[in-house]
Amino acid sequence: MSDQQEEKIVFNTTQIQNILPHRYPFLLVDRVTELEPGKRVVGIKNVTINEPFFGGHFPGHPIMPGVLILEAMAQTGGMLVLNTNDDFKDKLVYFTGIDKVKFRKPVTPGDQLRFEMELLKARSTIFKMKGKAFVGSKLVCEAELTAAIMDR
């Protein structure tokens, strides 16, 4: 991989934990590679066979649960929302709604999910985002997410 193709890390896992309250086994964003506050964010989740959910979903045929793909998408969106305004330090993002969800392909161990979140609307403490999840160049999930900022 040439230097131009290497992904820039805007936030690593430790820095993400300074912003989001999630912890193992529920922190589902490994790094943020792009951030345009108030506009868009790109996050990465490396999916490994060591994920606790694979033991039961499904034995002998591991597939990442769709709700966890959506949760990882929401956490990535949380990084966008919490970096949109300095007043949002020491706040939490509550996932309040999902619309237009489509699961296109299964996500399996060894995949790397790339979440691209775009801010559609922002009103006071309510945010609506469009999210897409990719494995390589293949779209695996898309949704519109609504979130609210609350006091921590």
**From CA 148, how far away is CA 5, in angstroms rounded?**
35
1 close to 10: Cβ distance less than 8 angstroms = no
Active site residues: 57
Q: Are 65 and 26 spatial neighbours (Cβ–Cβ below 8 Å)?
A: no
